[in-house]
Amino acid sequence: MNHLFPDHVLTTPTGDLAELSGESLFRLKNDAADFLALAKAITAHIDHALELKYADQAHQLRLAAGKDTGVVHFDDGNVRITADLPKKIDWDQKRLAEITQRIAANGDDPAEYVEIRYRVSETKFNAWPESLKSAFAPARTIKTGKSGFRLALLQE
């Protein structure tokens, strides 16, 4: 099994794939990355065409419904188009901090109004002295992500 065609990879048991040479796995991985990049480029190109074709009609339907964002539906021949323009809100973190301080200063609980989340940079944590690290360590949990492997040919 020197070379698998892409349509055969998914039907090949992973144990059999693991038996392949490093070079074969490298080529399969690169082929898959190339197919993924191509699929993403094709999808982006089609999405751009959809935007050109339907954006104005969707915008007009949203205006008629009295909204700037959200989902509208319409038909193009026998195809139902669902156009979604999601609302993305960005909050000024410095101003929110000031507001929550004022809420607390007035005796109210800011958590009733604002979601507050604390984070510590791992780089900063590692640079702290042990005395400070030990105070924070009980609040720190280490989890791992999905392992990954990169393959590179040393020579052709």
List beta partners, residue 76: 79
Q: Which of 47, 65, 85 is the last residue of a domain?
A: 85
* Statement to judge: residues 65 and 99 lie in one domain: no
- pLDDT for residue 156: 63
* Statement to judge: residues 78 and 103 lie in one domain: no
**Cβ contacts of residue 114 below 8 Å, gap of 6+?**
96, 99, 100, 103
Full domain range(s) for residue 123 = 93-131
* Statement to judge: residues 28 and 73 lie in one domain: yes
* Statement to judge: residues 37 and 65 lie in one domain: yes
Residue 122 has pLDDT above 90, yes or no: yes
* Statement to judge: residues 81 and 26 lie in one domain: yes
- pLDDT for residue 145: 84
- pLDDT for residue 8: 87
Single pTM value for the model: 0.69
In a domain? residue 154: no
* Statement to judge: residues 43 and 105 lie in one domain: no
Task: Please state the domain count of the chain.
Answer: 2
pLDDT tens digits, residue range 42-66? 999 999 999 999 999 999 999 999 9
User: Which residue is associated with the tokens 């059999």?
Assistant: 16
Q: Which of 49, 64, 85 is the last residue of a domain?
A: 85
In a domain? residue 70: yes
The whole-angstrom separation of Cα 44 and Cα 111 is 41
- pLDDT for residue 152: 74
User: Which residue is associated with the tokens 């393959």?
Assistant: 151
* Statement to judge: residues 18 and 40 lie in one domain: yes
SS3 18: helix
In a domain? residue 19: yes
